[in-house]
Amino acid sequence: MTGHDLSRGMPRPAQFAPDDAGAHADALERILRRIPQRWGREISHGPGWYPIVVACHEQLVAIDPDYVVHQVKQKYGTLNYYCTSDAELTPEQWEAFDAITDQAARVSAVTCELCGEPGEMCERREWFKTLCVPCGEPLGYLSVARKGGAVEQH
Ligand SMILES: [Zn+2]
Q: Do 40 and 69 fall into the same domain?
A: yes
Do residues 81 and 19 make contact, with C-beta atoms less than 8 angstroms apart?
no
In the reported structure, the alpha carbon of residue 133 is separated from the centroid of ligand 1 by a whole-number distance in angstroms of 7
Tens place of pLDDT for every residue, the chain, 154 residues? 444 444 454 455 568 899 999 999 999 999 999 999 888 888 889 999 999 999 999 999 999 999 999 999 999 999 999 999 999 999 999 999 999 999 999 999 999 999 999 999 999 999 999 999 999 999 999 999 887 654 444 4
What is the pLDDT at residue 3?
44
Asked, for residue 136, whether it belongs to a domain, the answer is yes
Q: Do 69 and 139 fall into the same domain?
A: no
Which is nearest to 129 in space by CA: 117, 116, 142? 142
In the reported structure, the alpha carbon of residue 138 is separated from the centroid of ligand 1 by a whole-number distance in angstroms of 11
Q: Do 98 and 65 fall into the same domain?
A: yes
Spatial separation of the C-alpha atoms in residues 122 and 137, rounded to whole Å: 9
In the reported structure, the alpha carbon of residue 13 is separated from the centroid of ligand 1 by a whole-number distance in angstroms of 28
Q: Do 93 and 139 fall into the same domain?
A: no
Asked, for residue 103, whether it belongs to a domain, the answer is yes
Asked, for residue 23, whether it belongs to a domain, the answer is yes
Max Cα distance, the chain (Å): 74
Q: Do 128 and 88 fall into the same domain?
A: no
Q: Do 57 and 98 fall into the same domain?
A: yes
Asked, for residue 10, whether it belongs to a domain, the answer is no
What is the pLDDT at residue 94?
97
Asked, for residue 97, whether it belongs to a domain, the answer is yes
Which is nearest to 74 in space by CA: 36, 98, 35, 48? 48
What is the pLDDT at residue 120?
97
Q: Do 26 and 83 fall into the same domain?
A: yes
What is the pLDDT at residue 116?
97
Domain around 145? 121-154
Q: Do 45 and 93 fall into the same domain?
A: yes
In the reported structure, the alpha carbon of residue 46 is separated from the centroid of ligand 1 by a whole-number distance in angstroms of 10
Number of domains in the chain: 2
What is the pLDDT at residue 153?
40
Spatial separation of the C-alpha atoms in residues 106 and 99, rounded to whole Å: 10
